[in-house]
Structure 1
Amino acid sequence: MARRSLWLSAQCRSFLLVLVGFVSFTAAAQQSGDAYRQSVLAIQQQIDAGDLEGARSAVVQAEKQYPNNGGLENLLGVIEAQHGHLTAARQAFLAAVRHDPRLVGAYMNLSRLDMQTAAKDATARAEALRMSERVVQMDTANDEAHYQIATILAWEKNYARSLAELERLSPQAQTAIGAQALICEDHAALGHREATDRAAHMLASNTDLTEEDANPCVSALRAAHRAVLIEELLSSAAERHPLSPAGLRMLGLAQEADGKLGQARATLEKAFTADSTSVEILIDLTRVAKAAGDNQGALGYLAHARDLRPTDATLPYEFGVICLRMGLYAEARKAIGAALEIEPDNPDYNHGMGLVVSFSEDPGQAMPYLLKYHTLRPQDPNGLLALGDASFRAKDYDTALTWLRQAVVHPATAAEAHYYLGRIARLQGNISEATGELKDSLQLLPNQASVLAELGQIAVSKGDNTEASTYLDRAVKLDPDNYAGNYGLLLLYARTRDPRLEQQSKRFDEVKNKKDERDVEMMRSLEISRDGKPNSSKSQQKPNQ
């Protein structure tokens, strides 16, 4: 994007006022200097008044008297540029510098032409730089040329040289909005923290600040992780002119990065109101709602995003992940299934679906998804563990052992694999083996309530009441609602006729009821309103396919 000029009005940037002080005289003109000056001034006035055809006719007449005149050719280039005839304008400016090699205005106009595309066009950028450097060789105090050089150097990521060029501006030019923005950008890109603070504060206090002015600096500040300064600049700009949807989104992201989740959400809501087709803003809102702990709100934003972009598999998958976090396994299964319909060979989606289905009434249905994941990512031990877990839940212990013995050799999955191997051994009556596997799991990961509960129940069955109490007390301390731990304590107190038996019986009933409630909650299905907000729920007997 072309930067805003430092000192020129919109008319100047459109080549309306480019010749004052830059008129060159041919020999013929020198013989009648006053007449030539009057002709040039009259043509300039016609250009200023918008009478481009009258100005063109005047140039044609003047060229008859002053042929090959750089000043007149420069004027013709201005007229062509105003008409949008950029190729013709370039030809006229080139003729002007050919006939008058020291005509600063013509070089400046050539640079202006190239600056219009220089941000993205390396050839135009190089040519604009060459023309601007030619200007400062002839006119060392030319602020516009110095600014354009600094701008090009910033585009080239040569921020130190850009700053040095900005220091050559006159004091008045350095206070202009474009210069302040570029100074802020350069310091931010160079990591000059204190200088960036000063430049950003100065820019924010400039009454001419607009979102367009702030944008280049905002990009550099974002890369430097200076969210507070971004918020300051955009908030200041917003006091004068409403921000665009993109500006509101950037302000919201800055507030999010600064931990102001409520403000961020409100700002992003405004951004979406201004651009109600933006899936990106809805994804931002989803992330902010999740960070604030509002999973229901996050689901609402995602539902709206899915309506807008129905072929994007990431949206239903994320919907399913949030449902899992909320314990809504039926809804998660439905959402991840929708993602798989769009991308059936996505390994993450197959893995996620396998994990969800493994908690259903028929865990064996998870195997096709988990086998596909293992095929797609054979080196991932989590695939092995998931296959072992699903087989265990399906009570296919022989198959479970096959996968778990492969998972147990990998550090990332060893602790959990030992746990399942221990449970299988206990179910098969191999108590000594079960104890060894569970202790191996606990050694790798000491604070596992589920492992402690298993060891506690084994100790109860062996009559080792002291050891049982130690394990089970630790389990319920780590996880007060652990089902196996509380059940183990109930067995222990009954066996030892502990006076805490009645209290533990009531406590176990509470834990059991919570588990039953969670089981029902897992089957809950959300209804999403058209505005994307969850508004009600209902229970169902079986997960949606």
Structure 2
Amino acid sequence: MLAEAATLYPEHSGLVTNLGIAHELLGRFDEAVICLERASALVPHNQDIKLALAHALLCRGDIAQARAITQAALKHEPANARAFLQLGAIDLALREYPSAEAALLRALELIPDDPDTLRNMSVLLLEQSRFDEALSFAERAHLRAPLDTAGLLHLAYCRAATGLWLQAEAACKKLLAYAPTLLGAREILARVTIANGEVDRGITELTQFVRTHKSDLSAALVLARTLQFVGRFNDALTLASHVAHACPDDETASRLKTTLELTLGRFPTPEPVALALVTLVYVPPTTCMLEFVALVLLVRRLASQQVVRVIAEPHYQAVLTSLAEQVISEEPKSGLSTTSLQSLLRVLAIDAHNIADGIPYLRPDPGLSAKWRDALAGLARPLSASCGTVVFSV
């Protein structure tokens, strides 16, 4: 209906805007951007349309452009709560946590009870391992929008993360009563069951769900992650390999497959790439810090042989400056030929003998080292610190 109406009235900004939003809801991001760019050109001073355009660009992966448009909208309307919410979400996606928190808190000052802003704030706090605060914001968001499925699912996750397993289980069962195929609830329920010591039951119930939904490859990927969680790496690898083969463009499946292969000591065979051509390395913003710290060893090996430039977000660059081998920071520019950090796994030969070569390969700041050494001096050894599912002992 919108397509026909917009065809008849191509100068009607409202119709073109709604058509663009409809395209976005259907996953047609290129068409959405085209429509919203046209609508914005028809009414240049309408900031709501500009924010809709920025959201479509964000969905398409054009994060820098989406952020620029959102910031421009804020300059015209400094009290636009939606713009602050969107800016916070963009910075959250970029893992720029301080600026994301500042933007979301400003949005809450303007609209204190907005459930979307409350939930985004909760997600931000979860990313920073501030679990109790994350749960508080998730509960507030759920109270303001009790029928919102995404909000209740997020609340279930926060409850599980803080060890409130019975409450998390209750929330998941409520969700599955009216949305039986909601995969996120299935995954949380399985993990809560496992956390309660019923590993076999958690795996069995999730496996039965996957078998009855064989065409849903995302369900198989959830089962693979859960099998990885309980240490059944071979079974997890079989599933992850199946999904990666069926969906070669699925980055999540490919990365899980690679992680499991490395966990099992199955190192990739290097491709015939001339190292001299690998001079510019790109760190995707979605790379988690633990993965980055592990893979940056490969950057060090490369930098020991030649000059290497790295395009990375500021928080990654801070670690790069501490490498034993010096690398050069590079700004992102169009037209540059880059090699992703993860691709170095197939460029440099890796085996059981050199995977930990040159440890330690990072140089901590002497002042910070002394500060932590003095602060921890009176504690019994060994000291353990957890990061995700990895535990470091000193």
Q: TM-score, normalised by structure 2?
A: 0.53
Q: C-alpha deviations, 1:267-290, integer Å up to 9, x for none?
A: 956964xxxx65356446535755
Q: CA RMSD in A?
A: 4.7
- Partners of 2:159 and 2:83 lie apart in 1 by 29
Letter of the structure 1 residue corresponding to residue 169 of structure 2: L
Find the counterpart in structure 2 of residue 515 from structure 1. 288
| Distance 1:427-1:267 versus aligned 2 partners, 3 A rule | closer
Deviation at 1:457, TM superposition (A): 6.3
- Partners of 2:202 and 2:143 lie apart in 1 by 30
Q: C-alpha deviations, 1:100-135, integer Å up to 9, x for none?
A: xxxxxxxxxxxxxxxxxxxxxxxxxxxxxxxxxxxx
User: How do residues 118-267 of structure 1 correspond to structure 2 at under 5 angstroms?
Assistant: 224-226=5-7, 230=10, 259=31, 265=37
Deviation at 1:319, TM superposition (A): 2.1
Find the counterpart in structure 2 of residue 529 from structure 1. none
Q: Secondary structure at the match of 1:502?
A: coil
1:425/1:431 contact within 8 Å kept: yes
Query: Are residue 503 (structure 1) and residue 268 (structure 2) matched?
Result: yes
- Partners of 1:476 and 1:419 lie apart in 2 by 20
Query: Are residue 379 (structure 1) and residue 180 (structure 2) matched?
Result: no
- Partners of 1:222 and 1:468 lie apart in 2 by 45
Find the counterpart in structure 2 of residue 426 from structure 1. 194
Give the number of aligned pairs. 272
1:408/1:417 contact within 8 Å kept: yes
Q: Secondary structure at the match of 2:140?
A: helix
| Distance 1:403-1:225 versus aligned 2 partners, 3 A rule | same
Q: Secondary structure at the match of 2:267?
A: helix
Q: Secondary structure at the match of 2:218?
A: coil
2:36/2:52 contact within 8 Å kept: no
Q: Between the two proteins, what is the percent identity of the paired residues?
A: 18
Find the counterpart in structure 2 of residue 454 from structure 1. 226
| Distance 1:312-1:288 versus aligned 2 partners, 3 A rule | same
2:101/2:121 contact within 8 Å kept: yes
1:389/1:420 contact within 8 Å kept: yes
Find the counterpart in structure 2 of residue 311 from structure 1. 79
Q: C-alpha deviations, 1:348-388, integer Å up to 9, x for none?
A: 22222223322222122111111112222223343332122
1:339/1:349 contact within 8 Å kept: yes
Q: C-alpha deviations, 1:491-541, integer Å up to 9, x for none?
A: 4x45xxxxxx232899xxx99x9432888989869xxxxxxxxx99xxxxx
1:355/1:390 contact within 8 Å kept: no
| Distance 1:301-1:407 versus aligned 2 partners, 3 A rule | same
Query: Are residue 322 (structure 1) and residue 90 (structure 2) matched?
Result: yes
Deviation at 1:223, TM superposition (A): 7.8
| Distance 1:437-1:364 versus aligned 2 partners, 3 A rule | farther
2:91/2:100 contact within 8 Å kept: yes
Letter of the structure 1 residue corresponding to residue 218 of structure 2: N
Deviation at 1:390, TM superposition (A): 1.4
- Partners of 1:426 and 1:505 lie apart in 2 by 37
1:441/1:451 contact within 8 Å kept: no
| Distance 1:224-1:437 versus aligned 2 partners, 3 A rule | same
Find the counterpart in structure 2 of residue 364 from structure 1. 132
Deviation at 1:460, TM superposition (A): 3.3
Q: Secondary structure at the match of 2:288?
A: helix
Find the counterpart in structure 2 of residue 349 from structure 1. 117
Find the counterpart in structure 2 of residue 62 from structure 1. none
Query: Are residue 390 (structure 1) and residue 158 (structure 2) matched?
Result: yes
Find the counterpart in structure 2 of residue 474 from structure 1. 242
Which blocks of at least 5 consecutive residues in structure 1 are unaligned? Answer: 1-190, 192-220, 232-246, 495-500, 526-534, 537-545
Deviation at 1:436, TM superposition (A): 2.0
- Partners of 1:439 and 1:280 lie apart in 2 by 45
- Partners of 2:290 and 2:41 lie apart in 1 by 35
- Partners of 2:57 and 2:198 lie apart in 1 by 48
- Partners of 2:181 and 2:108 lie apart in 1 by 26
1:423/1:434 contact within 8 Å kept: yes
Quick check: which one's helix share is greater? Answer: 1
| Distance 1:263-1:412 versus aligned 2 partners, 3 A rule | closer
Deviation at 1:224, TM superposition (A): 2.0
| Distance 1:254-1:397 versus aligned 2 partners, 3 A rule | closer
Q: TM-score, normalised by structure 1?
A: 0.40
1:354/1:370 contact within 8 Å kept: yes
| Distance 1:416-1:285 versus aligned 2 partners, 3 A rule | closer
